[in-house]
Amino acid sequence: MSHLEYNKLFVHDHINARELSEVYFSDASERGQLFLILETPKNKINQQPMIDQIIEALTHHFISSPQDDPELLLEEILQELNQILPELNTHKIKNWLQTLDIVVGIIHQDSVYLASIGNVGGLLIHSNQTTQILEANTDFDPSKIFTDIVSGQLDTGDALIISTNALFDYISEEKIKRIIKKYTPQAAVVQFKQLLDTVPDFVTFNSLVIKRPSGHDLDIPNEQTQISVQSDDDNDNDGIIEAQSTIQTKDHKTKHRKSTRTKLVFDKDGLKNIKIFQIFVQIWQFAKIYFNFVAKIFTTTGHYIKNAWLFIFSSQYRQDRESNILQTSQKSINKRVNWFSNLSWQKKVLLISVIAVLLIFLQSLVFLTQKQAINKQEDAYDKSIQAINNSLNEVEASLIYDDEKRAEELLLNIQDMLDSLESSSPSQEEELNTAKEQAVRMLNKVRHINYVDSPLELFDLSELNQSKQIVQKDGQFYILDQENLYILEEQSPRVLTSYPNGKTLADWPNKNQLIISGDQEYVIFNLDDQQIDSFSFTQSVGNTSVQDMSIYSNNLYVLDTIASQIFKYPERGQSFSNGVNWLQDDIDLSDANSFTLDGDMYVMFNSGQILKLRKGSRDIFNYHQPHPKLGSKAILKTFTDSDYLYIIDPDNQRVAILDKEGNIKDQYTSLKFDNLVDLAIDQEEKAIYLLNGNHLYLLAINE
């Protein structure tokens, strides 16, 4: 049961209000009390059935869920809301989700748990300080609307007010704090109502005051008269907010006055919401811009037409224009000639001598500057070549000590230095080209990069529809595409079973079976009778998506990027039991793309990073990051007895092989690797089978 006191301020005029507003409280129970504050702009489409459906769904889940922890219970309710809200807009109201202001929460004992979207605010009042705990949130992912839960325990005297923004527009935070600190929630609501008494009817206030009472809270005096404010529901007793006021005359007789809500108010801003007024303003603005533009065009065009007309038909106009131009030019020339002519011959000689000396000086300065620039460039070139040679010697030394990472860093720096150098002679250009070729050869050697001109094509898969994954099992290849599961035989694919919208394919090593996943299920394909078994197993309650899956030691592991979790499904006979969370550490897996197991687990991220996990926790893996670094959608695979990790890197048309200490063994690249999708590894590790678009290539591995 709740140890907190609360009261709601709900002022809403059905007819004049511009919003559709709702406040809901469930019955008190051992798990607490559920509440909902909801507000959305009115629309010509009736949205009340959608709001009723939201309340019904929340109430049903709150009552029927076996979860006793209020925070976990609220998380389940928010997941339910994330699913139903996008589906409720059957009338396709534009930006409907972005117009919703919603607060959902649970009051349990001394604690409050809540989450919100839209323009709502929440103030926590603690030790005479106010803290904003809810902020406007209109920019959210429609597939995951509610993401964060705010929770906390209220100490004695602490209070929390949750409200749509209208309350904060009319009453300052400081006044709200003073009222809530001084009064009980019921009395505070009365005070707020008195302050809002003159607010126009079209404004809606939907607020909730929650407080852990202290012995100093003031309540409503009993001798005051009663003022009633009708809520939006005449049958809801909590919708009546009772206020008290007293007017004492000289003869100690009491007179009663009833405050009036409805007032005659001219709302000039309300005109903006009138459709015909909006259209009129837009037409007026457009007309103003249009006529100003037309007037400017006519004025400019008229001026040019007038001048052109006079120039063509008026010889006097042409003569005047010509005379004006000649006179202006002549005046400028005469002014300079007269100035020079008026100088004495000594000054003329001196001026000419100064100009000649200045020209000679400037020419000499140009020659000197050019020579200095050439000498400086040659000196910088010689120093750079010397630094490059020193770095090449360091590369050789690093290779002797098997420090390939250091050698690669040095070679990349050498390439940058060579690219920045400019040759000033044919001999320097030849020297630079030789150094660049040497640096490229050494870099390829350090990176173990092998260029494959024409990889061997095993199968042409042009008849498949968007091939997704490949599995090699007992010498046979199985491929899953958008519609079917295939087996490759006699150089062509044969359909084993239809499975529309299949996402992932995994081998069950110890059994003659494959595992296929779709959007909402996992199924087992029996290779003996080539049929999908009639039974399937249930996903974990938190397993909402499948990015990749793999079987190790007869247990199925599933990577779920939406839940940011790895789920483990233990073997149970010929199937699997319900899933459990395998990942123990708090790790963000939303950017993960694939994973593989050999006892430890390796997770590949779209950022190019590789994470090693052991028994559900992060483990140290200092691997040598290839250069360029691994791109997005990279996929890695291994198996128990393998010493290597095999990686396809579609962004860089590359196949990389790392040993399990993190060192690069080999890299392969080819122009044919233009659509790498998946890979399979020969059990003897002598070949890699690459699924590249509509082709299956064989890539031999260097011993």
Cα angle at 433 between 428 and 434, to 5 degrees? 100
Same domain, 485 and 421: no
Chain Cα centroid distance, residue 320: 69
Domain co-membership, 412 together with 501 = no
- pLDDT confidence tier of residue 429, bands split at 50, 70 and 90: confident
Task: Say if residue 412 is exposed, middle or buried (CB neighbours under 10 Å; 0-12, 13-18, 19+).
Answer: middle
Decide if pLDDT at 457 tops 80: yes
Is residue 260 domain-resident?
A: no
- Residue 536 pLDDT: 64
In a domain, 695, yes or no: no
Q: What is the mean pLDDT of residues 562-572?
A: 92
Rounded to whole angstroms, how far apart are CA atoms 226 and 244? 5
- Res. 340 pLDDT band, cuts 50 70 90: confident
pLDDT at residue 104 in the model: 94
In a domain, 249, yes or no: no
CATH number, position 40: 3.60.40.10
pLDDT at 112 over 60: yes
- The answer on pLDDT for 83 being more than 60 is yes
Look at residues 215, 232, 261 and tell me which one is the last residue of a structural domain: 215
Could you give the count of Cα atoms lying within 13 Å of 105 in the half-sphere of its Cβ? 27
Indicate whether 657 pLDDT > 70: yes
Host domain of residue 312: 269-327
Whether residue 339 lies inside any domain: the answer is: no
At residue 256, the pLDDT reads 36
Average pLDDT along the chain? 84
Whether residue 449 contacts residue 474, with contact meaning beta carbons closer than 8 Å, is answered with no
The reply to whether 606 and 490 lie within a common domain is yes
Judge if 21 and 165 occupy the same domain.
Answer: yes
Which pLDDT tens digit goes with each residue over 34-56? 999 999 998 878 888 888 989 99
Averaged pLDDT for residues 375-391: 85
Question: Quick one: 323 and 369 in the same domain?
Answer: no
**pLDDT at res. 226:** 39
Looking at the structure, tell me whether residues 53 and 196 fall in a common domain: yes
Tokens of 381: 């070139």
Same domain assignment for residues 32 and 180:
yes
Least confident of 86-95, 486-495, 689-698: 86-95
Domain presence at residue 96: yes
Q: Could you tell me if 28 and 153 lie in one domain?
A: yes
What pLDDT is recorded for position 248?
34
Is residue 649 situated within a structural domain? no
pLDDT, residue 254, reads: 33
Sign of CA dihedral 211, 240, 234, 123: negative
Is 561 among the domain residues? yes
What phi, psi does 329 have (nearest 5°)?
-65, -45
Residue 599's CATH number? 2.130.10.10
pLDDT of residue 228: 34
Segment 187-203, tens digit of pLDDT:
999 999 999 988 888 89
User: Would you state the pLDDT for residue 221?
Assistant: 62
Give the CATH number for residue 427.
1.20.58
Angle between helices 345-400 and 404-420 (to 10 degrees): 160
pLDDT digits (tens, 9 = 90+) for 202-252: 899 999 999 898 888 888 765 443 333 333 343 333 333 333 333 233 333
Q: For residue 341, is it within any domain?
A: no
Whether 484 and 613 share a structural domain: yes
Residue recorded with tokens 């009261």: 7
139 vs 1, higher pLDDT: 139
499 shares a domain with 352: no
Where is the domain boundary, 174, 194, 215?
A: 215
- Given a cut of 70, whether residue 268 has pLDDT beyond it is no
Number of domains in the chain: 4
**465-523 pLDDT per residue, tens:** 877 899 999 889 999 998 899 999 877 889 999 998 888 999 998 899 999 988 777 88
Question: Is the pLDDT reported for residue 324 higher than 70?
Answer: yes
| 229, two tokens | 């404010």
In this structure, are 443 and 517 located in the same domain?
A: no
Q: Are 428 and 489 part of one and the same domain?
A: no
pLDDT reading at 271 higher than 80: no
Residues of the chain above pLDDT 70, percent: 91
> What is the residue-wise DSSP string for 490-509?
TTEEEEEEE-TT--EEEEET
Q: Residue 234 pairs with which residues in a beta bridge?
A: none
Q: What is the pLDDT of residue 555?
A: 93
Q: Which of 643, 663, 687 is the last residue of a domain?
A: 643
pLDDT of amino acid 538: 66
Average pLDDT over residues 526-539: 77
User: Which pLDDT score, from 0 to 100, does residue 260 have?
Assistant: 38
466 or 32, greater pLDDT:
32
